[in-house]
């Protein structure tokens, strides 16, 4: 078995041989961005005039949520003669992460001035316009200019389809805009998702085409999802089992296995989704120097709301009709936000102790310790909700309730979190619900389907969420 220690040594050997991109990719794969950062800093020291080394450092710092330091590295890259669109993209993203939205938009446009058909920059610019304005037409305008330069670019068409989906364009219109013709696997995968919204037979044809063109994990799971959407677990399970044979901890494959077993009436579904032992709620601690939890939550709420300066939801996330913080809360210097991560330590450890160890997909990863991987806040507006989803990069996931609308006490489980029901199979509703309460932290497996019931009224729903991975 390859150990983390041996992978670290391999990464350091690759770096010593000058194969830095391979070393960093390996370190990212095992979650050791701290070591990757040391290597990137060393690269800057040994190549003090290199704009590329500064760009690489800026990109990694941005990925790690160190936005101010990433900005400084990007600007040093420019000072050393760099002017690549990739560096402008890094700068734009870290400016947005700092809440400097106008500067971020200007930096995205600088990237596009240097590469007009740069799909990542077009997508990010479109998303920023959408989140600031809620104007679908304005958000889609950057794609018009880019596609005029590169009308056949598959990455642009895929990115446009993603944005169209999240700004409210109908699935059939998204499908038509893709122009799928059986030639590009990425286009076929995007067409699969669009067609699921209006024609499952057409979705199946696209998924089969994508898998034939590029038979990898992503296309296999997309094809399996379509079969499950068509209530065909017998066709989906061999695809899912093959992925899990190679990648036993793949959270997306585990989530689909649960759906397939449930559709097939397989009793193993209840073990994979054992709500009584795998979903738990705890009240977070009151951190010092606050005297009461309510006083702390009040201050935390004020700090979080100050970060919700955008108008509507991002692209590619589960929330609808609300906002999400642009930067990871793990890097915040706000005292109330920083105190939150101490307040959740005891509940997380209590969950892990209750969970124990075992051979099932959740418990076999338990090490007795943990680290957080990403933390963000969501503010849902009235009518807002989270579509059912999973967290593919996590082990445990969470929802912590900071400030709640009165509607959670009304009929219909408004604003509650539900578990078990996938978005593509309406015949399988949620099986378990947890009622939100101020200061309540709910923990659950990252592979477990979960979503939020919409709520009425004129108040918002404020939460913090994060992922936990074994340390």
**One-character DSSP codes across 166-219:** HTT--HHHHHHHHT--SS-HHHHHHHHHHHTTT-HHHHHHHHHHHHHH--SHHH
CATH 1.25.40 fits 170-270, yes or no: yes
Q: Which residue has the tokens 């600088």?
A: 110
Whether residue 289 is preceded by a cis peptide bond, meaning omega within 30 degrees of 0, is: yes
The per-residue pLDDT for 1 is: 44
Q: How far is Cα 419 from Cα 275, in angstroms, rounded to an integer?
A: 8
Name the nearest CA neighbour of 253 among 235, 267, 265, 236.
236
Residues with Cβ within 8 Å of residue 373, at least 6 apart in sequence: 31, 393, 394, 466, 467, 468, 469
The per-residue pLDDT for 30 is: 83
The per-residue pLDDT for 227 is: 98
Is the distance from CB of 248 to CB of 359 less than 8 angstroms? no
Is the distance from CB of 455 to CB of 383 less than 8 angstroms? yes
Q: Which pLDDT tens digit goes with each residue over 28-79? A: 888 888 999 999 999 999 999 999 999 999 999 999 999 999 999 999 999 9
Q: Say which CATH class 275-470 falls into.
A: mainly beta
The per-residue pLDDT for 3 is: 63
C-alpha count within 13 angstroms, C-beta hemisphere, residue 344: 30
State whether residue 455 is helix, strand or coil. Answer: coil
Q: Is the dihedral of CA 341, 347, 348, 353 positive or negative?
A: positive
Q: How far is Cα 244 from Cα 224, in angstroms, rounded to an integer?
A: 13
Cα-to-chain-centroid distance, residue 141: 25
What are the structure tokens assigned to 24, written together? 């960093």
Q: Which pLDDT tens digit goes with each residue over 89-103? A: 999 999 999 999 999
Domain ranges of the chain: 170-270, 275-470
Is the distance from CB of 444 to CB of 397 less than 8 angstroms? yes
The per-residue pLDDT for 285 is: 98
Residues with Cβ within 8 Å of residue 263, at least 6 apart in sequence: 228, 231, 233, 425, 427, 428
DSSP element (H, E) containing 398 = strand 396-403
DSSP element (H, E) containing 25 = helix 20-29
Tell me the whole-structure pTM to 2 decimals: 0.93
Q: What is the pLDDT along the chain (471 residues), one digit of tens a residue?
A: 456 788 889 998 998 898 999 999 999 888 888 999 999 999 999 999 999 999 999 999 999 999 999 999 999 999 999 999 999 999 999 999 999 999 999 999 999 999 999 999 999 999 999 999 999 999 999 999 999 999 999 999 999 999 999 999 999 999 999 999 989 999 999 999 999 999 999 999 999 999 999 999 999 999 999 999 999 999 999 999 999 999 999 999 999 999 999 999 999 999 999 999 999 999 999 999 999 999 999 999 999 999 999 999 999 999 999 999 998 999 999 999 999 999 999 999 999 999 999 999 999 999 999 999 999 999 999 999 999 999 999 999 999 999 999 999 999 999 999 999 999 998 899 999 999 999 999 999 999 999 999 999 999 999 999 999 999
Is the distance from CB of 443 to CB of 398 less than 8 angstroms? yes
Q: How far is Cα 335 from Cα 469, in angstroms, rounded to an integer?
A: 24
What are the structure tokens assigned to 139, written together? 């958000």
Cα-to-chain-centroid distance, residue 250: 15
């Amino acid at each position: 078995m390859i150990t983390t220690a041996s992978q670290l040594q391999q990464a350091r050997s690759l770096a010593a041989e000058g194969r830095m991109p391979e070393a960093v990719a390996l370190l990212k794969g095992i979650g050791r961005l701290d070591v990757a950062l040391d290597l990137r800093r060393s690269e800057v020291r040994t190549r003090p005039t290199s704009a590329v080394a500064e760009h690489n450092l800026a990109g990694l710092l941005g990925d790690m949520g160190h936005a101010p330091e990433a900005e400084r590295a990007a600007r040093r890259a420019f000072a050393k003669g760099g002017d690549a669109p990739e560096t402008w993209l890094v700068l734009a993203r870290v400016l947005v992460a700092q809440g400097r939205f106008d500067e971020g938009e200007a930096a995205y446009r600088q990237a596009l001035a240097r590469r007009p058909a740069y799909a990542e920059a077009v997508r990010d610019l479109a998303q920023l316009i959408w989140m600031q304005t809620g104007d679908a037409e304005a958000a889609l305008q950057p794609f018009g200019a880019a596609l005029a330069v590169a009308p056949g670019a598959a990455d642009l068409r895929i990115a446009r389809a993603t944005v169209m989906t999240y700004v409210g364009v109908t699935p059939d219109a998204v499908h038509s805009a893709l122009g799928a013709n059986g030639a590009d696997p990425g286009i076929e995968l995007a067409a699969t998702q669009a067609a699921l919204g209006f024609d499952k037979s057409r979705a199946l044809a696209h998924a089969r085409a994508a898998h034939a063109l590029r038979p990898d994990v992503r296309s296999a799971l997309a094809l399996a999802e379509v079969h499950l959407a068509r209530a065909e677990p017998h066709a989906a399970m061999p695809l899912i089992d093959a992925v899990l044979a190679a990648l036993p901890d793949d959270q997306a494959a585990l989530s689909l296995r649960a759906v397939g077993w449930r559709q097939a009436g397989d009793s193993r579904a209840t073990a994979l989704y054992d709500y009584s032992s795998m979903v738990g709620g705890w009240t977070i601690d009151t951190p010092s120097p606050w005297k009461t939890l309510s006083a702390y939550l009040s201050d935390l709420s004020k700090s979080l709301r100050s970060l919700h300066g955008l108008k509507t939801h991002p692209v590619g996330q589960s929330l609808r009709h609300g906002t999400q913080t642009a930067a990871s809360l793990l890097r915040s210097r706000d005292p109330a936000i920083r105190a939150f991560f101490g307040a959740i330590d005891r509940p997380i450890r209590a969950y892990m102790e209750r969970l124990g160890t075992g051979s099932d997909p959740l418990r076999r990863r338990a090490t007795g310790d943990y680290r957080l991987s990403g933390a963000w806040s969501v503010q849902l507006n009235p009518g807002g909700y989270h579509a059912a989803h999973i967290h593919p990069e996590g082990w445990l996931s969470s929802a912590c309730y900071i400030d709640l609308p009165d509607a959670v006490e009304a009929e219909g489980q408004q604003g509650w979190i539900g578990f078990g029901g996938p978005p593509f199979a309406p015949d399988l509703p949620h099986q378990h619900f947890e009622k939100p309460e101020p200061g309540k932290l709910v923990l659950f497996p990252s592979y477990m389907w979960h979503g939020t019931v919409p709520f009425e009224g004129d108040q918002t729903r404020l939460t913090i969420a994060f992922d936990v991975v074994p340390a």
